[in-house]
Structure 1
Amino acid sequence: MLGIGTTVGTWVFFHMFMLQRTYSFSGFIKEPLDENQAEGDLTYFTCIVRELDETQYVSWLHNGRKISKNGEIIINTYAHYSIEFDSAFGSYNLRIQNVQRRDTGRYTCTVYDSNDQIVEKSRTANFTVLEIPQQQYPICSSTKTSYRVGQYVVLNCISEKTTPPALLRWVHNIGGSESGLKESSTGNYEKSYSFIAKQSDNRAIFTCELTTSANPSIERNCTIGALDVLYPPIVRIQQTRDVILGNEAIFICYSDANPQETTFEWSFDPPISENIFVLENDIILRIKNTISSLNGTSVICKVTNSIGSGSSKLIVNVKLKESINNVVETNNGKETKKSEKPNERNKNKSNNQNYNSNQQLLQTRSPNNKNNSSTDISISLVVIIALVCIVLILGLAMIPVGYMRYTRSDTINRGRPVSIPDVYFEPRDHIDPMLPQLGLPAPWMRTVGVQVPGECESDATYNTQVMPQPRQVYYTQRMYPASSL
């Protein structure tokens, strides 16, 4: 009985001990929540436990796979993961830096015992990575390199298949239809734009823009163009001036084509002699001497390229010289032309000849030559007067300069003893009289009378001998007489 009691007691003790160690963990204070985050960003999963036993530890599971133990990541492929571990507070937060697409999945915070048996799991948090198309997208493409006018054009804009799907939009300035976003045969997303090619679509540029809700700041685009639309020549003929009887007539053939024109052909209906016209670079038609039989003739220019041909026709309207000499009358600022009757042409012609002869006679007698000569004389006179004025101004400007040089060099002898008069008089300010040679006033000066002895003295400050001199000698040194005062 004692042996049985001992065995039962030992079992009960062991069982109670294991229950105490296993259930010392009392639960999660905070569990991870579902997250959505774009590629390249940062995300957190929170896990805080209460009263964890010393033999227990916390691990994070990703899709059922253990990736950490307490505060360390145990798998190298999860190097961009880290654990913000604080045992005092029981926090085991999971931090994912630079989120990648493979990080999508289920995350669970799990408590293990010393035998690596699961004690308890937190709720499972679902993590969705918002995928961003790779840098090379979008890609623009077309079914052909060139199109003829009237052909069906299909342009494709391709993006990588992502979650969420990228948004594609065609930017254009022509009429066409845009398809919805669909999955292509290569597993990507694409949006097409289609239209019927026209001549005006040649050299056009089409742009496809890509945006994504995963990161609204991302905006990319690709372009197709310039679109090569092939079309036959579009031709027009232009004459440089009215076709006048007896004068030269010039016709130019203009063409717009893609590809470039290969041939230009001129023809006439009814045909005319080859001696009448000359071609320059196959584009310009020159009729040297217009004859009356050309009136009503159709001039045709035909241009051909590799796509086809195009032509233009112009009917020649030959005008007489007399018909262009219409009478022009002005009525309230508007000009109206009166055509002449055939019976009056000869009469008007003779009158015009008489008028022209009289006009020439008047022109010979008119003072046109005198006007020209008088104009030349007036211009020469203006030039001469201007030169004389310049000389006078320069001469007057030199007078003060010469006077200043004259007075500056002769009035004061620098570096020599200054003569002082032997008499003194009342101090006063005055201006020296005009110089008789130039008629200009001398500078203002102040004279101060001082008493000096009759004998020579030596100035103590400058060691200069001061000799008394008479007033006449003083003014003689100033180059003009004292009596002028």
Structure 2
Amino acid sequence: MALNMLYKLYCTRLVLLTFVLYEVTSFSGFQMEPSDINQAEGEPVYFTCIVRKLDDSEYVSWLHNGHKISKNGDIVINTYSHYSIEFDSAFGSYNLRIQNVQRRDKGGYTCTVYDSYDQIVEESRTANFTVLEIPQQQYPICSSTKPSYRVDQSVVLSCISENTTPLALLRWVHNTGGSESGLKESLTGNYEKSYSFIAKQSDNRAIFTCELTTSANPSIVRNCTIGPLDVLYPPIVRIQQTRDVILGNEAIFICYSDANPQETTFEWSFDPPIGENMYLLENEIILRIKKTLSSLNGTSVICKVTNSIGSGSSKLIVNVKSKESINNVVESNNGKETTKSEKPNERNKNKSNNQNSNSNQQLLQTRSPNNSSTDISISLVVIIALVCIIVILGLALIPVGYMKYTRRQPSDTISRGRPVSIPDVYFEPRDHIDPMLPQLGLAAPWMRTVGVQVPGECEYDATYNTQVMPQPRQVYYTQRMYPASSL
């Protein structure tokens, strides 16, 4: 019994000593804990955790929303493949890095110490991670309530963005005088911003743009467009005459129209009516009055155009002028005479009333000499320019002519008849064999001589144009620069 008591006491002390040693060498606290972070999607984020004095049986894990995702330096869940642990056991650092932040990464992150029995020894503070969401690439989306609108009808355009945290900012870019609505939740759970205005003719074929920006990433700017907008309106008509309507001449009138959709019919009418044989229509747009009569003066010409939306018309009153009145107006404008029926006394009476027109005529008359002098000066400038060009060309041709006609011409020509130029200095090789010497009975060897011509002088070989005179053999070869020993 005594031995058993002593053995139990020994074991108890040993356990207490082991527990004391374990407490001294085990985990003693966090040197650095993770902090709250806000980060945008697609960006990296970094959480710090540094511990002190871990036991060999203890390890560190990161918890995401209470779920263990790592053990020491390894990620233990496959769905967190974009996570990594920067592990340094000597320094005690177990830092968590998220390479490409996703929306599902938001939540709380805790650095936790476990013992060998997977029991939590201690936890750090929980760091709250807020993911700044960015609308997906397909946003914004622009839409309109109708494919087309009529003039004076209300137009409502919608710009839709994803419901994110924080909300994206939508802005319509157009200067039609419309109004924007605030952000409101759409039927699909997204957010939209509307733009409304009253359709006008000028809005046809217009393009409207919605711009998206977000505080999560200020560098992101996207936009969507609606258009060209289809605004329907009845024809807008106008009549234009090509020239003055002169008595006895042909008169031409053209009907112009602007409509959406396209015009379907053109109708011409007259008030008072005229006979159908007096006019002719071309493509329903051009009206030709074959011969203008005085009875057409004051007649209203009306063009009515119709499309599927409605009709529009325009009216022009015909003003028939006589040829004499046209000639008088032309002569009056030229300053030659006013009218044939006007007398000098009447001109004096109407002088005060026609002061502006007379002053204009005097202005034209005073300007006419200047115009003629201007024409003369322009002609003079043109003549001087031509003379200068001719002189310059002549001066340029003088050196060419000099070089061509002062070049030395040879006495002979080639087969084509073109002169062949001979240089001032040339070399002409010639081969020959001296004739047999009658005194010696020997023939001289083959030799090459060269004739040289230099301006002003003439040097040539002594053998040219000379005859071989009888002479002793030794003298002959001495002149030919052959030593006697060589023979």
TM-score range, shorter chain: 0.7 to 0.9
Give, in angstroms, the shift of residue 108 of structure 1: 0.5
Task: Give 1:408's aligned residue.
Answer: 422
* Partner amino acid, structure 2, of 1:414: E
Are 1:458 and 2:466 matched, yes or no?
no
Taking the aligned partners of 1:89 and 1:50, their CA distance within structure 2 comes to 8
Q: Secondary structure at the match of 1:110?
A: strand
Taking the aligned partners of 2:73 and 2:336, their CA distance within structure 1 comes to 103
Taking the aligned partners of 1:327 and 1:308, their CA distance within structure 2 comes to 43
Residue number among 35, 38, 48 corresponding to 1:36 in the alignment: 38
After the TM superposition, which of the residue ranges 222-231 and 178-187 deviates more from structure 2? 178-187
Contact 2:450 2:460 in 1 (8 A): no
1:128-143 matches, cutoff 5 A: 128-143=130-145
Contact 2:425 2:452 in 1 (8 A): no
After the TM superposition, which of the residue ranges 52-61 and 402-411 deviates more from structure 2? 402-411
Are 1:94 and 2:96 matched, yes or no?
yes
Q: Secondary structure at the match of 2:277?
A: coil
Taking the aligned partners of 1:239 and 1:305, their CA distance within structure 2 comes to 24
* Partner amino acid, structure 2, of 1:403: Q
Consecutive unaligned residues of structure 2, counting only runs of 5 or more, are 345-393, 411-418, 431-448, 470-474, 483-487
1:292-303 matches, cutoff 5 A: 292-303=294-305
Task: Give 2:122's aligned residue.
Answer: 120
Consecutive unaligned residues of structure 1, counting only runs of 5 or more, are 345-388, 422-442, 461-485
Q: Secondary structure at the match of 2:276?
A: coil
Q: 1:16 to 1:163 in 2, by over 3 A?
A: farther
Contact 1:22 1:113 in 2 (8 A): no
After the TM superposition, which of the residue ranges 12-21 and 117-126 deviates more from structure 2? 12-21
Q: 1:177 to 1:407 in 2, by over 3 A?
A: closer
Are 1:21 and 2:25 matched, yes or no?
no
Taking the aligned partners of 2:136 and 2:253, their CA distance within structure 1 comes to 59
Contact 1:328 1:338 in 2 (8 A): no
Taking the aligned partners of 2:452 and 2:184, their CA distance within structure 1 comes to 117
Task: Give 2:338's aligned residue.
Answer: 338
**TM-score normalised per structure 2:** 0.73
Are 1:84 and 2:86 matched, yes or no?
yes
Taking the aligned partners of 1:67 and 1:410, their CA distance within structure 2 comes to 103
Taking the aligned partners of 2:206 and 2:257, their CA distance within structure 1 comes to 20
Q: Secondary structure at the match of 2:314?
A: strand
Report the RMSD for the aligned CA atoms in angstroms.
Answer: 3.6
Give, in angstroms, the shift of residue 80 of structure 1: 1.1
Task: Give 1:386's aligned residue.
Answer: none
Q: Secondary structure at the match of 1:14?
A: helix
Task: Give 1:476's aligned residue.
Answer: none
Taking the aligned partners of 1:64 and 1:337, their CA distance within structure 2 comes to 109
Are 1:285 and 2:293 matched, yes or no?
no
Taking the aligned partners of 1:13 and 1:76, their CA distance within structure 2 comes to 44
Taking the aligned partners of 1:267 and 1:337, their CA distance within structure 2 comes to 40
1:355-374 matches, cutoff 5 A: none
Give, in angstroms, the shift of residue 90 of structure 1: 0.6
Contact 1:244 1:290 in 2 (8 A): yes
* Partner amino acid, structure 2, of 1:458: R
Contact 1:300 1:313 in 2 (8 A): yes
Give, in angstroms, the shift of residue 25 of structure 1: 1.3
Taking the aligned partners of 2:408 and 2:280, their CA distance within structure 1 comes to 79
Q: 1:264 to 1:407 in 2, by over 3 A?
A: closer
Contact 2:428 2:451 in 1 (8 A): no
Task: Give 1:61's aligned residue.
Answer: 63
Identity %: 71
Q: 1:144 to 1:336 in 2, by over 3 A?
A: farther
* Partner amino acid, structure 1, of 2:480: S
Q: Deviations over 1:121-179 (max 9, x none)?
A: 11110101111111111111111111000111111111111111112111113211011
After the TM superposition, which of the residue ranges 32-41 and 443-452 deviates more from structure 2? 443-452
Taking the aligned partners of 1:450 and 1:402, their CA distance within structure 2 comes to 26
1:26-425 matches, cutoff 5 A: 26-326=28-328, 338-341=338-341, 399-400=405-406, 403=409, 405=419, 408=422, 414-416=428-430, 417-418=449-450
Q: Secondary structure at the match of 1:324?
A: helix
Give, in angstroms, the shift of residue 50 of structure 1: 0.5
Contact 1:327 1:337 in 2 (8 A): no
Q: 1:168 to 1:94 in 2, by over 3 A?
A: same
Q: Secondary structure at the match of 1:135?
A: coil
Q: 1:72 to 1:396 in 2, by over 3 A?
A: closer
* Partner amino acid, structure 2, of 1:307: I
Give, in angstroms, the shift of residue 415 of structure 1: 2.6
Give, in angstroms, the shift of residue 11 of structure 1: 4.6
Task: Give 1:384's aligned residue.
Answer: none
* Partner amino acid, structure 2, of 1:61: L
Contact 1:328 1:336 in 2 (8 A): no
Taking the aligned partners of 2:329 and 2:268, their CA distance within structure 1 comes to 37
Q: Secondary structure at the match of 2:112?
A: strand
Give, in angstroms, the shift of residue 9 of structure 1: 6.4
Contact 2:332 2:339 in 1 (8 A): no
Contact 1:22 1:119 in 2 (8 A): no
After the TM superposition, which of the residue ranges 50-59 and 322-331 deviates more from structure 2? 322-331
Q: Deviations over 1:441-485 (max 9, x none)?
A: xx944567999999874378xxxxxxxxxxxxxxxxxxxxxxxxx
Give, in angstroms, the shift of residue 8 of structure 1: 6.4
Taking the aligned partners of 1:129 and 1:182, their CA distance within structure 2 comes to 23
Give, in angstroms, the shift of residue 220 of structure 1: 1.3
Taking the aligned partners of 2:250 and 2:58, their CA distance within structure 1 comes to 112
Contact 1:31 1:123 in 2 (8 A): yes
Give, in angstroms, the shift of residue 411 of structure 1: 9.3
* Partner amino acid, structure 1, of 2:266: F
Give, in angstroms, the shift of residue 419 of structure 1: 5.4
After the TM superposition, which of the residue ranges 449-458 and 278-287 deviates more from structure 2? 449-458
Q: 1:419 to 1:171 in 2, by over 3 A?
A: closer
Give, in angstroms, the shift of residue 74 of structure 1: 1.0
